[in-house]
Amino acid sequence: MSFILKMAWRDSRASRRRLLLYSLSVVLGIAALVAIGSFTVNLKQAIDDQAKGLLGADLVVTSRVAFSDSVLAYTAGLGGERSRTREFSSMLVFTTANDATRLVQVRAVEANFPFYGKFETAPASAAAELQAGRPVVVLEETLLTQFGVKVGDLVKLGQATFTIAGAIMKVPGESAAIATFAPRAYVPLGLLTTTGLTNRESITQHRVLIKLPEAQDAEVVERMMKSKFVGERLSFSTVAERKRNLGAALTNIEGFLNLVGFVALFLGAIGVASAIHVYVRQKIATVAVLRCLGASAAQSFSVYVVQGIALGMFGAVLGAALGIILQLLLPVVLQGVLPIDVNFFISWPAVGRGLGAGLVICFLFTLLPLLAVRRVSPLVALRSAFIERTGSATDPWRIILGVLILAAVTGFAYWQTRSWRIGLGFTGTLIAGFGVLAGLAQVVAWAARRFVLRSLPYVVRQGIANLHRPNNRTVLLLLSLGLGMFLILTLYLTRTTLLNQVDLAGEGSRPNLLFFDIQDDQIEPFKKIAAEQNTPVIQSAPIVTMKISAIKGRPVDELMREREAPRSTAVGPENSVEKNDERRPAVGSRRGPKARGGPLLSGGMLGREYRSTYRSKISGTERVVAGKFDGQVPPGAAVVPISVEESFLKNLQLELGDEIEWDVQGVPVRTKVTSVRAVEWRRLDSNFFVVFPEGAIEAAPKTFVAALRAASPAVSAKTQRALVAAFPNISAIDLALILQALDSIFSKVAFVIQFMALFTVFTGVIVLVGAVLNGRYQRIRETVLLRTLGATRRQLVQIQLVEYSILGVLAAVVGGGLSVAGNALLAHFVFKISPVAPPMLILGAVAVAAAITVLTGLVTGRGVTDYPPLEILRQET
Amino acid sequence: MTNACILKVERLTKNYRTASGPLTVLREVSFDLVAGASLAIVGPSGSGKTTLLGLCAGLDRASGGTVSLAGSELGALDEDGRALVRNKHVGFVFQNFQLIPTLTALENVLVPLELRGEGGAKVEAEATALLGRVGLGARCDHYPVQLSGGEQQRVALARAFMNRPKILFCDEPTGNLDGDTAAAMVELIFGLNREKGTTLVLVTHDLELAKKCGRILRLRSGAVVSDETLAAS
C-alpha cells in the first residue's frame, strides 16, 4: 500500500496542475447538488418554523357563496377567534393617474387578520390603518410604480373612494407570484358595502379564518365539518395540509433542479473520463516499466486509481465549498416564488449527499479509462507498438462499469423524483442526447477524413485533419458545447413559442380586451359606449351560473357524501386528508368505491359552480368533435340538449347521451349531453365548458361577457376608462397585461432554469479548456516538429483557428438543431401548439457559441507555439 | 558460483495474428544458460531477438515451448506471477532507458525494492551507493529530463541491480549512446555483472559488444542459426 501511495504521489508530480484542472470539470455539478440540497433543508426548516404563518390561521374555510347561518354558528361554537374575508376581482380606478384602470384582486379583511405571521406593509403603519377599518387600501407595490401613485393618493373601487395607505410587502401564506396576473388590493371588510360591489356573489370567495383553542385539532374540525355540511360545498385549508402541499412542491422543485444540476455533473464526469483517457495513454510507458520491474497489474492499476480518487475528492470538496457559497445566492434566484423567509444555515447531511453523489459518479467515470492500465503489457517497454494492444472493448469490467454508471444515473434520478418512470426516462433521454451528439461527432470525424479537398490551403487541411486524427477532441467538444447550447437554446425557443401563441391570439381582428360582470340591463348601453370609443363589441355572451345537482340520476350530494364517507371513518392523520383520487366515487354505479375499481370522480368537479352560456351556434374558438350541436330548443322542453367541452366529459366520466340535472339558481333543469366540443382555451375569447341551446335558460338571472378589439394600447386604456366610469361593477382583462404577466412568470421560471443551465454551460467551458490543454500536451511535439520544419507562428495559429472554428460552429449547429427539435417536441406533445424557431435567434446563438469556442481554444492554446523545440527534441534523445 | 541452470528455453515459438494470417517471429528456439554466464543474442532486424528477450524475461506468453527462469516455469504463471519472478530475480536495461519521467534518479532506482514493500534509510543508502557506483552520486535528485542519455542509462543500470537480480536482461543497452559513452556503459555493465555475480543476457547489433559475452546465439528469421561459446572474455 505504501508503494502505491508513494508512487501515486510521485508520479503525479508533473501532472498535478493538469489533474486539478480535470477535477474542476465536476466542481460545478457537485456545487449545484450541494447548494440545492442544503438550501432545500433550509426551506423545509423554514416551513416548519413558520408553519402557522403559512396560513395565517389554524383552519380556513372557503365557500363560493355566502356562508349559511348554520356554518357560521358552528364556527362560532368552536371557541377561539374568527376573522372573515371576501375576495373577488374588480377594476380599480386611479383617479390621480388620469382615471387609469386596472383589474385587481380585492381582498376585504377584518381587523384581526391574520392570526399568525405578520402582514407587512410599507410604511408599516398601513397594515394598522387597514385593520382599524379606515377607508384605506393597501396595494401591490408594482401598482404604485406602474401608475405613478403614492401613499395618500386616492383610488376608486366601485362607487367608493379609498386612500392609498401603503404597499404590500408580505402577507402570511402568500407568495408574490400570486399577484402576477392580477395585483392584490386590501380593503377593510366593513367598508365593502360602500363600493356597491357586494352583490357580485357569483365571483366572490368567502373565507372564515379560524384560530382554534389549544385543545382543538384543525384536521379533526375539518373532518367534522365536511361530514356535517356536505351540501354546503365548503373547502378547507389547514396548516398541516399547507405544509404537506408546500413540502411536496418543494420536493418536486428540488428534484427538478437537482436533475438539471446532475446534467452538469454528468457532463463534467465525461470531461474527467476523457481527460483521464488521454492521461492514461501518456502513462502507458511508465506502467510498462513498472510491470517490467515487477509491479502486478493490481499495483499499477491502484497507483492511478489513487490519483483518480484524489482528483475526485479534490473536485468534490471544492464543489461542496462552492455549493455552500452558491447556497447564499439561491434565495436571490428564487426571489418572488418563495412564500416564506429562509434563514441560511449549512446542512451537512445535504452537503454530504451532494458530495457523495458527485464522488460516486466521478469515481465511476474515472475508472472507465483507468481499466486500460490493467492491460498494459510490460512488452511496451521494449516496443511502443504494443501500446495499441492495451485497450480492449471486450474487457468485461468495462461492461460492468457501464452498467454501474447507468444504474447510478437512474438511481440518482429516482432518488430525486421517487419515480422509476422519470428515473428511467431521464437516463434514457441523457443517453439518447449524448448518443446523438457522440454519433454526430463520429460522422463529422469521418466526413473530415473522407471529404477534404486537396486544393485547400495547407493550414485548412491540417485544421480539418485535427478533427479525425488520433486523440482528436471532436466527440468531447461536440458533447460539451452541443449539450450546453441545446439546454439554453431550447429554453429560449420554448419561451418564444409560448409567448408567440399569446401574441397570435391577439392578432388580426381577434379580440384583445375582455369585459365581464356586465349586468343584464347594462349590456346595451355598454355596447353603445364601446362603439363610441371606436372599439365595437365583436361578440358578447350571456353567463348563467349553475351547479350540478344530479348525474345520471344520482344526486350530487349522495356522490359527495359517498366520497367523504371512507375518510370520516378513517383513523390517523394519513387518512385524514385527501391524498389522491382513490376515494372519489364513480358515477353510474351504486356499489362502494372499493368494489368498483377504476378511476373515480373529483369532488371539485362535482361541487363547483359552472358559468354556462346559451347560443344557437358554436363559436370560432371551438369545434364539435362528437355528436351534433343543438342550437335551439322549443320552450318548455323536458330534457334540454347541451354541448360540453371534452375535458369536462372526460373528468366527469360522461358519455354522449348521459343526463345531467342542473340547479340553475334554484330551478332544476334536466339536460342531456348531445355534443362534445374541443375548445381553444388560449384564445382570449368567451369560452365555456357547457353551452345550452337558445330557448332553455334565458329567463335565469345572468350577466354578460363582451369581447372587444382595441386598435392600440392607448385606445384600450381610453375604452377601459370610459366603460369602468360608466359601469363601476364591470371588470376587464387586457391581452397586453396577460402577455406581460406570462412574460413575467416565464422570466422568473426561465431565470431559475437558466441559472441552473449555466452550471452546464460553465462545466462545458471547463471541459473545453481541459480538452484544449490536453490537446496542447498531446500536440506540442507535433507543433514543435512543424516549427522545426519551418512553420511560422502565424501558420500554427491559423491551424488552431480552423480546427476550433469548425468545432465551434459544428457544436453550435448540432446543439441548435437539437434544441429546435426539442422545442418542436415540447410544443407538439406538451403544449400542443405550433413551434416557433426564429432563424435570427438561432443564428445569433450559433454565432455566440462558435465565438466562445474559438476564443477559449485560442486563449487556452496560446503559448503552444512558443514552446522551445529543443526541449522536446531533447526528450526524444 | 554454481553451475545451476538459471534460464532454460525449450522449443520456444511465438506467433502473432496479423491481417494477412499468422506471423511466426520465433520458431522452436532452445538453449539454456548457467548462473553467472553471459549470453549475447545477435541477428539482423526482425530476426526475433527482442521477442526472445521478452519471452525469456516473462514479459509475454509464448505460443509454444517453455521458459524456465530461476526455477520458475513462466508458462505456468499468470501475469502477476511472472511480475513477481521479475521483481525477485530479474533486472532490465533498455535501449531507450525507460526511466519513469516523474521520478528522480534516486526514486527510479528505489522502485524495485519499494514494490516489494522494502524501503527506509538503509535501502536509500544502498540506492545512493549504487548511483555513486555508476558515477551519479551527485545527481540523485535530478529528474530524467535533466540528465544526458548516458546518465539516464547509468541510472537505469543502477535500477537494474537494485533488487540484486539473478539475471540481467539488456536490450541494445548502447544503441542510443555515442561511442565513448557506450564504451563506459559497457564497462559498467560487465563490471557490475562480475561484482554481483549476475547472469547476463544481452541483445545487440554490435558484434564487438557481443564478443565480450561468453556465448553468442545468432538468430535469423526467428530461428537459431548458430550457438557459439567463446573463450573466456
In chain A, residues with a C-beta closer than 8 Å to the C-beta of B170 are none
Kindly state whether A390 is in contact with chain B, defined as any CB-CB distance less than 8 angstroms.
Answer: no
What is the rounded average pLDDT of the residues A157-164?
A: 91
Q: Point out the residue among B54, B87, B101 whose CB comes nearest to the CB of A379.
A: B54
What angle is formed at CA A370 by the lines to CA A365 and CA A372, rounded to 5 degrees? Answer: 130
Kindly state whether B172 is in contact with chain A, defined as any CB-CB distance less than 8 angstroms.
Answer: no
Contact A10 B94 (CB under 8 A): no
What amino acid is encoded at A281 in this protein?
R
Q: Point out the residue among B87, B171, B176 whose CB comes nearest to the CB of A293.
A: B87
- Order the strands of the B199-203 sheet from edge to edge: B90-93, B167-171, B199-203, B38-42, B215-220, B223-229
In chain B, residues with a C-beta closer than 8 Å to the C-beta of A777 are none
Question: Which of B14, B18, B102, B108 would you mutate first to test chain A, the one with the most A CBs within 10 A?
Answer: B102
Contact at 8 Å (CB) between A513 and A708? yes
* Predicted complex ipTM exceeds 0.85: no
Q: Point out the residue among A7, A10, A379 whose CB comes nearest to the CB of B59.
A: A379
Q: What is the pLDDT of residues B121-141, one digit of tens each?
A: 889 999 999 999 888 989 999
Contact B53 A382 (CB under 8 A): yes
Shortest Cα distance, chain A CAs vs residue B50, angstroms:
7
Shortest Cα distance, chain B CAs vs residue A11, angstroms:
5
pLDDT at A178 over 50: yes
Residue A116: C-alpha distances to residues A167, A210, A228, A297, A473 (Å): 20, 11, 27, 68, 60
Kindly state whether B77 is in contact with chain A, defined as any CB-CB distance less than 8 angstroms.
Answer: no
Q: What pLDDT shows up at residue A748?
A: 65
Classified as helix, coil or strand, A850 is helix
Contact B102 A286 (CB under 8 A): yes
Q: What pLDDT shows up at residue A586?
A: 39
In chain B, residues with a C-beta closer than 8 Å to the C-beta of A296 are 79-80, 83-84
Ramachandran area for residue B48 (φ above 0: left; ψ -120 to 50: alpha; else beta): left
Sequence-separated (6 or more) residues with CB below 8 Å from residue B85: A294, B58, B69, B70, B72, B74, B77
Reference A316, options A8, A10, A33; nearest CA is: A33
- B228 phi and psi, to 5 degrees? -110, 125
Percent of chain B topping pLDDT 90: 37
pTM over 0.80: no
pLDDT at A649 over 50: yes
Contact A14 B101 (CB under 8 A): yes
Sequence-separated (6 or more) residues with CB below 8 Å from residue A346: A38, A324, A327
In chain B, residues with a C-beta closer than 8 Å to the C-beta of A290 are 100, 111, 115
pLDDT at B233 over 70: no
Shortest Cα distance, chain B CAs vs residue A783, angstroms:
20
Angle between helices A297-333 and A2-11 (to 10 degrees): 60
Q: What is the pLDDT of residues A119-129, one digit of tens each?
A: 889 899 999 99
In chain A, residues with a C-beta closer than 8 Å to the C-beta of B107 are 10
Q: Point out the residue among B80, B85, B98 whose CB comes nearest to the CB of A285.
A: B98
Those of residues 120-159 in B touching chain A at CB distance below 8 A are 145, 149, 159
In chain A, residues with a C-beta closer than 8 Å to the C-beta of B54 are 378-379, 382
Query: How large is the greatest C-alpha to C-alpha distance in chain B, in angstroms?
Result: 55
Q: How many CB atoms lie within 10 A of CB A298?
A: 13
Question: Which of A7, A12, A293 would you mutate first to test chain B, the one with the most B CBs within 10 A?
Answer: A293
Q: What is the pLDDT of residues A589-642, one digit of tens each?
A: 333 333 333 344 555 677 777 889 999 988 877 889 999 999 899 888 889 999
In chain A, residues with a C-beta closer than 8 Å to the C-beta of B87 are 293-295
Percent of chain A topping pLDDT 70: 82
Q: Point out the residue among B83, B145, B149 whose CB comes nearest to the CB of A296.
A: B83
Kindly state whether A389 is in contact with chain B, defined as any CB-CB distance less than 8 angstroms.
Answer: no
- A732 phi and psi, to 5 degrees? -130, 145
Kindly state whether A788 is in contact with chain B, defined as any CB-CB distance less than 8 angstroms.
Answer: no
In chain A, residues with a C-beta closer than 8 Å to the C-beta of B88 are 294
Q: What pLDDT shows up at residue A575?
A: 33
Better-scored residue on pLDDT, A417 or A282:
A282
pLDDT at A862 over 60: yes
Q: Point out the residue among A11, A296, A877 whose CB comes nearest to the CB of B149.
A: A877
Of the candidate ranges A73-87, A450-464, B45-59, the one whose mean pLDDT is the lowest: A450-464
Please name the residue that has the C-alpha cell 540523485.
B140
On average, the pLDDT of chain B sits at 88
Of the candidate ranges A85-94, A573-582, B82-91, the one whose mean pLDDT is the lowest: A573-582
Contact B59 A2 (CB under 8 A): no
What angle is formed at CA A121 by the lines to CA A118 and CA A123, rounded to 5 degrees? Answer: 130
Shortest Cα distance, chain A CAs vs residue B152, angstroms:
10
Q: In this complex, how many residue pairs, one in chain A and one in chain B, have their CB atoms less than 8 Å apart?
A: 95
What is the rounded average pLDDT of the residues A543-551?
A: 89
Residue of B nearest to A287 (CA): B100
CA distance A451 to A455: 12
The conformation of residue A237, written as its DSSP 8-state character, comes to: E
Q: What is the pLDDT of residues A520-536, one digit of tens each?
A: 888 999 999 998 888 88
Q: What is the pLDDT of residues A458-501, one digit of tens each?
A: 778 878 887 877 667 777 777 777 877 777 787 678 777 776 76
Contact A291 B83 (CB under 8 A): yes
Residue of A nearest to B170 (CA): A382
Q: What is the pLDDT of residues A359-418, one digit of tens each?
A: 888 899 889 889 888 888 888 877 665 544 544 457 788 889 889 988 988 888 888 777
What is the rounded average pLDDT of the residues A680-703?
A: 83
Q: What pLDDT shows up at residue A573?
A: 34
What is the rounded average pLDDT of the residues A437-466?
A: 80
